[in-house]
Structure 1
Amino acid sequence: MQWMAWTLPTAIFFGVIASLLVLFTILAIRYPETPRTGILRIETTRGDRLFITLLGSAFINAGWLALTGLPQWWALGICAVYAAAVFRWV
C-alpha cells in the first residue's frame, strides 16, 4: 500500500466511517425502527439518513475545496449542521 498516503487524518476518517457503520448496525439490531417520511417525502431509516448525510458531506467538502481557500475545518462545521438537519427533518 505504498501508493496511498496513509496519514493520521486519513486513518481518522476511515475509522470514523467504520465506527458509524458498526454503531448504526448495533442500533438497528437493538432498537428496530420503522421508516419515517420527512421533508423529502420518501421513507427513510437511520441508515438512509446516514447515507444521505455522508453523500451530502462529500459534496460540501468538494465544493469547499473548489470554491474557497479557507481552512477545511469550516466545511466540517457546515457538514455537522447539515447532518443535524438531515437527521431531524429528512
Structure 2
Amino acid sequence: MDWMAWTGPTATFFVIIASLLITFTVLAIKYPETPRVGVLGIETTRGDRLFITLLGSAFLNLGWLGLVDASQWGALVVCAVYAAAVFRWV
C-alpha cells in the first residue's frame, strides 16, 4: 500500500470508523431496536443515524476547509454537536 499516505491521522480515522461499525453491529445483535420516526419523518435505526452522521460530518468538514479560516478542531466540535443532534432527534 505504498500508494496511500498512511499517516497517523489517516490510520486513526480508519480505526475509528471500523470501531464504530463493530460497536453498532454488536449493539444491533445484543439490543435489537425497532425503527423510530424523527424530525425527518422517516423511519431510522441506529445504523441509519450513524450513516447520516458520517455523511453530514464529511460535508461539514469539507465546508469548514473551504469556507472557514480556523483550525480543523473547530469542525470536530461542530460535528460532535451535529452527531448528538442526529442521534437525539432524527
**Amino acid of the residue matched to residue 84 of structure 1?**
A
**Amino acid of the residue matched to residue 68 of structure 2?**
T
Q: CA deviation at 1:68?
A: 1.5
Question: Which residue is equivalent to 2:85?
Answer: 85
State the superposition RMSD in angstroms.
0.5
Q: CA deviation at 1:3?
A: 1.6
Report the identity percentage: 76
Q: CA deviation at 1:11?
A: 0.5
Question: Which residue is equivalent to 1:23?
Answer: 23
Question: Which residue is equivalent to 2:70?
Answer: 70
Structure 1 segments of 4 or more deviating over 3 A?
none
Q: TM-score, normalised by structure 2?
A: 0.98
Q: Where in structure 2 are there 5+ consecutive unaligned residues?
A: none
Question: Which residue is equivalent to 2:14?
Answer: 14
Question: Which residue is equivalent to 2:50?
Answer: 50
Question: Which residue is equivalent to 2:41?
Answer: 41
Matched residues, number:
90
Q: CA deviation at 1:43?
A: 0.1
Q: Where in structure 1 are there 5+ consecutive unaligned residues?
A: none
Question: Which residue is equivalent to 1:4?
Answer: 4
SS of the equivalent of 1:5 reads: coil
Q: TM-score, normalised by structure 1?
A: 0.98
